[in-house]
Structure 1
């Protein structure tokens, strides 16, 4: 029975993800009757949806964000071994609607949304005798959190997108040819899902086997970020303050602890992509993608590179403890024991010393949102409302103090404090899939100025969104290209 379910789900994923054409056109596909019959199956089904965040290969939070999004910023570029022409086009800002990374961002996001929709519908229908009511409610809210996360990414990347809230169970044109909803409609659904997901348990109540799942703090933190992106600063501040004062998170004492395998899902980790090397090939590919390629025995890919001209590395103070965690200037070869200097700094956050010769099996998690970011969300929102108040400076300085960076003091203007927060986000959250989103939400002038200052002269206003993939436009006649990408 389970085998039947899996094969049917693959057909749905292939069709809705536009990966291949089907020779036949079945009129209906029933999934929840084949699976989701009890609590164990409900948990297994939702766990599979979590895996869509970080499956092996170039999945959303396992490399695709980096090559499909972050390359289009001032801090990153396609490294010497990034051979895919589509990736290099994003790095050079010459990408277009035919770019295959855009297709994957769209396809994988909707695949995950469809799975979340299926979770919600099917778990709701499980008979009361077959599932604990509290577990049933929790699983449904976790699925709503995941759906909100994926739609939050999509609306920021592509603008208005199709808003699909029920699983695809038919291959009819009426069900598949969905028009785009407005950005406002998409955000309204994101907020609705997250407000409901706030009823999830606090992270401290989860058993070890459930750590890494969505929690009340994850829902509130993501909601604060949604409000911030919408420039709803009052709600962003209020929600961030709620996380700070009520959810029980705190910073690790040392920045290096954030990326310590032994401290995963700890007091600073609000929600992370989960990796466990040498376990179903679920290693963190960012470790291998950024690791040195020319040091004997390390065998890195060096496909994700620092864009040195952007000035990120030089912006750190020498005593900043984030510097040696985030970057490396050289490594000792496990083959000959010699230290090899690197010509430029390379990313180091996910380098796992336990798998030196096979960094594709790094067990380090990638943070999706962590407590340090919530502090910076509060500082930014507070500044936009009340200027650089004591509360805003304290929140920012809490992050800087942990990093051993000079604390901000004195009479700062709102503008200078805003810039300080964005630079702090840049240094604190580098290589955590944040830079493109931060540049874009400051607007076209800011984005273009930053990229051109970094030598990326092709930057233009249209790059505040990615184009709707041409393949999707070809398959769905009701989709329209984003206005900024028409005739480009």
Structure 2
């Protein structure tokens, strides 16, 4: 996307469900008509909503997922320089409703949803004299895609959540004190939004300045993942097959190219958080957070660390080409040209060689969904629909493994064995891409607890397949109720 398009100021005027007090005649009324006068402004408004995925600070796809979600898995832990007590609590599974990372997950998601609601309403009402019909429809469907993505995250994190599809226009009790909707109703809205977004252009139809925007393939792919999460296997398989057959994606020949700066938004990248250091955007903070802290000239934070007891590093075959891309076991100092070995492997996917001393300016994108995952979604869903693993499911799994130079599966054994093969392949293929917690949680409480306790995280409990509704939101909104698993825990 064109980095010169900026976030329009009105979107930041209010954060849903986060006002400390209400006034009978509030001065803060969200007047937005003046921001949707022409096509350029409409495009800028939607572009600004994309920025909410990855803007500066600990925003959703710029480290908040990692410190607020992924720490609660068997693959990650708070590193030596992760000083925030709330982050360390999530890492140790001792977090509670007062955790400030839970607050930010909720707050930032609803802020982004409100921005999409504003876009959908106001752009839909623009006249032919203000905007061409093709662009109007496209922008509305981009906004629906983004709204669906945020609700998909929220419903997986928190279970029942408020479902708001109209913009907050006045800071009134009627608009702010919203009760929770059922998970079923939230998923219905997600599917509706993504089905509408399937009318977006194919990603190849976008010019250079629009690369990275949501596309038809993005909507179909996210919908396949939604169905997979819901265990609607036939729908998940069909939608993944649609993407495979019709959307013209493919794997890069070499795994390293998935994270190459000069190949961003390429044939494997279905939808990504866009980072561009030193250009008005902000860099991918995961590069700095995971980089070594004790090597001269690297200047890393080492706040995101591998949970060694989980056995992830050892699960890779020695010839697996993903291993040296995903992890580093040592680096050469740019200051003295000496090699420094690390005591434990550290994450390396987003390390940008062009900014060695300042990884906060890493320009590597973070994949939100990519073609390798679609192949694995197809394999998993197909396996659930057959008595024994099919040739097509095995072939999809082997495409991912073959690209990595991992051993191919000639026979996959039973349905149960193949399920675990696919699941472990997701773990290795999608390391540090904000997938592990979602995968563990969707397998259920028993699976989650077993995996974490086997990795030495003995505090893991059934309630941890959801996060608690933030206590601050409960205090502010009398119509909100705590998730049942977190009542009297």
Residue 6 of structure 1 and its aligned partner are, at CA, apart by 5.3
1:239-270 Cα deviation digits (max 9, x unpaired) = 00000000000000000000000000000000
Quote the residue 1:338 is aligned against: 338
* Residues 214-233 of structure 1 aligned to structure 2 (within 5 Å): 214-233=214-233
Residue 281 of structure 1 and its aligned partner are, at CA, apart by 4.8
Quote the residue 2:302 is aligned against: 302
8 Å contact kept, 2:19–2:476? no
Alignment partners' CA distance in 2, 1:319 and 1:224 = 31
Quote the residue 1:236 is aligned against: 236
Quote the residue 1:365 is aligned against: 365
Moved more, 440-449 or 364-373: 440-449
2:106 aligned with 1:94: no
2:178 aligned with 1:165: no
Alignment partners' CA distance in 2, 1:140 and 1:7 = 19
Alignment partners' CA distance in 1, 2:75 and 2:464 = 16
Alignment partners' CA distance in 2, 1:58 and 1:90 = 16
Quote the residue 1:12 is aligned against: 14
Quote the residue 1:55 is aligned against: 55
Shift in alpha-carbon separation, 1:336–1:467, aligned structure 2, 3 A: same
* Residues 5-44 of structure 1 aligned to structure 2 (within 5 Å): 8-13=10-15, 16=16, 18=18, 26=26, 29-44=29-44
Alignment partners' CA distance in 2, 1:192 and 1:351 = 38
Quote the residue 1:461 is aligned against: 462
Specify every segment of 5 or more residues in structure 1 that has no aligned partner in the other structure, as ranges: none
RMSD: 1.3
Shift in alpha-carbon separation, 1:21–1:301, aligned structure 2, 3 A: farther
Shift in alpha-carbon separation, 1:288–1:20, aligned structure 2, 3 A: farther
SS in 2 for 1:174: helix
SS in 1 for 2:324: helix
Residue 130 of structure 1 and its aligned partner are, at CA, apart by 1.4
Alignment partners' CA distance in 2, 1:370 and 1:411 = 24
Alignment partners' CA distance in 1, 2:413 and 2:140 = 45
Alignment partners' CA distance in 2, 1:249 and 1:390 = 21
8 Å contact kept, 1:9–1:31? no
What's the TM-score, normalizing by structure 1?
A: 0.97
Shift in alpha-carbon separation, 1:22–1:301, aligned structure 2, 3 A: farther
Alignment partners' CA distance in 1, 2:24 and 2:331 = 54
Residue 18 of structure 1 and its aligned partner are, at CA, apart by 1.8
1:372-396 Cα deviation digits (max 9, x unpaired) = 0000000000000013100100000
Quote the residue 1:396 is aligned against: 397
Alignment partners' CA distance in 2, 1:352 and 1:241 = 34
Residue 31 of structure 1 and its aligned partner are, at CA, apart by 2.5
8 Å contact kept, 1:53–1:59? yes
Residue 19 of structure 1 and its aligned partner are, at CA, apart by 6.6
Alignment partners' CA distance in 2, 1:6 and 1:269 = 27
8 Å contact kept, 2:321–2:405? yes
Quote the residue 1:318 is aligned against: 318
Residue 356 of structure 1 and its aligned partner are, at CA, apart by 0.3
8 Å contact kept, 1:17–1:108? no
Shift in alpha-carbon separation, 1:380–1:40, aligned structure 2, 3 A: same
SS in 2 for 1:340: strand
Alignment partners' CA distance in 1, 2:412 and 2:280 = 54
Residue 129 of structure 1 and its aligned partner are, at CA, apart by 1.0
8 Å contact kept, 2:17–2:176? no
2:430 aligned with 1:429: yes
Moved more, 382-391 or 98-107: 382-391
1:37-78 Cα deviation digits (max 9, x unpaired) = 110000000000000000011000000000000000000000
Residue 34 of structure 1 and its aligned partner are, at CA, apart by 1.9
8 Å contact kept, 1:281–1:361? no
Alignment partners' CA distance in 2, 1:456 and 1:25 = 50
SS in 2 for 1:343: strand
User: Structure 1 residue runs of 4+, over 2 Å off?
Assistant: 5-11, 19-25
8 Å contact kept, 1:291–1:302? yes
What's the TM-score, normalizing by structure 2?
A: 0.97
8 Å contact kept, 1:290–1:304? yes
- Number of residue-to-residue matches in the alignment: 482
Residue 21 of structure 1 and its aligned partner are, at CA, apart by 5.2
Quote the residue 1:418 is aligned against: 419
SS in 2 for 1:378: helix
8 Å contact kept, 1:8–1:29? no
Alignment partners' CA distance in 1, 2:322 and 2:412 = 26
Residue 27 of structure 1 and its aligned partner are, at CA, apart by 6.4
Quote the residue 1:274 is aligned against: 274
Shift in alpha-carbon separation, 1:175–1:92, aligned structure 2, 3 A: same
Residue 20 of structure 1 and its aligned partner are, at CA, apart by 5.3
Specify every segment of 5 or more residues in structure 2 that has no aligned partner in the other structure, as ranges: 1-6
1:405-458 Cα deviation digits (max 9, x unpaired) = 001122510000000000000000000000000001111111001000000000
SS in 2 for 1:34: helix
Quote the residue 2:261 is aligned against: 261
Moved more, 64-73 or 23-32: 23-32
Alignment partners' CA distance in 1, 2:351 and 2:418 = 33
